[in-house]
């Protein structure tokens, strides 16, 4: 009886939606694999190597060791089954309703807050970044998104009040442009 209840609980937990921070796949490195090759296999883009290295806390130029396990983070498409708002989705998946603006910008929605059932929305995974000397929101946007126009996403996602991030602070960078290809999932 207890065994069946425990099995049912485990199955229930497996099918619950995961928070955005847990959106990743584990990969065991095989002999001869490289980080760009792994990124090409999962994302179809070897240029993602620096972000994947950062997500795993290692230098992207170091050789990988066979048997090493690494995380392959991914943004996911979420399709609500009932009408909701970006504020509700941000609270549920990103930890704070005020992050709805980042969801809107990263999904190219403008200022729209409502979300229709059956329509997919990309939920980001979050990378941690410790602010170094000389970092600005524009520089971080160039580094993570390829252009300074997303600087406001980083500052609003982190509830910043200052024009520049403070040296040594930890920022969260939402990433939606990296998705594991369907074949790999």
Convert the pLDDT of each residue in 120-150 to its tens digit. 999 999 999 999 999 999 999 999 999 999 9
More confident residue, 93 or 1: 93
DSSP 108: T
How far is it, in rounded angstroms, from Cα 104 to Cα 134? Answer: 28
Q: Cα–Cα distances in Å, from 89 out to 85, 111, 153?
A: 6, 15, 17
pLDDT in tens, 70-128: 999 999 999 988 888 999 999 999 999 999 999 999 998 877 777 878 889 999 999 99
> What confidence score (pLDDT) does residue 3 get?
41
Average pLDDT of the chain to the nearest whole number? 85
Six token digits for residue 100: 């709805």
What is the mean pLDDT of the segment spanning 55-78? 93
Residues 25-49 have a mean pLDDT of 94
| Model confidence band, residue 54 (pLDDT cutoffs 50, 70, 90) | very high
| Strand ranges, E, within the chain | 24-28, 69-73, 76-78, 84-85, 114-115, 121-123, 125-130, 170-175
- In the 8-state DSSP scheme, what is residue 27? E
pLDDT in the model for residue 101: 92
DSSP conformation class of 81: S
Q: Is residue 6's pLDDT more than 70?
A: no
- pTM, 2 dp: 0.80
Comparing CA positions, the residue from 113, 108, 60 lying closest to residue 91 is 113
Distance CA 35, CA 53 (A): 8
The answer, yes or no, to whether residue 4 has pLDDT greater than 60, is: no
**Number of CB atoms found within 10 A of residue 123's CB:** 25
- Average pLDDT on 169-173 reads 96
| 171 has a pLDDT exceeding 50 | yes
């Amino acid at each position: 009886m207890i065994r069946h209840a425990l099995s049912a609980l485990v199955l229930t937990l497996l099918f619950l939606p995961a928070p955005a921070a847990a959106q990743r796949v584990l990969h065991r490195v095989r002999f001869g694999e490289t980080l760009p090759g792994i990124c090409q296999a999962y994302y179809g883009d070897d240029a993602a190597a620096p972000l994947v290295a950062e997500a795993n806390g290692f230098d992207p130029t170091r050789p990988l060791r066979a048997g090493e396990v690494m995380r392959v983070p991914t943004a996911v498409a979420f399709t609500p089954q009932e009408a909701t708002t970006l504020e509700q989705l941000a609270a549920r998946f990103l930890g704070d309703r005020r992050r709805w603006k980042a969801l809107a910008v990263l999904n190219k929605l403008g200022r729209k807050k409502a979300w229709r059932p059956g329509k997919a929305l990309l939920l980001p995974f979050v990378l941690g970044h410790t602010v170094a000397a000389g970092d600005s929101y524009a520089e971080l946007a160039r580094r993570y998104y390829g252009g300074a126009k997303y600087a406001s996403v980083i500052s609003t996602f982190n509830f910043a009040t200052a024009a520049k991030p403070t040296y040594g602070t930890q920022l969260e960078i939402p990433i939606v442009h990296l998705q594991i290809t369907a074949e790999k999932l």
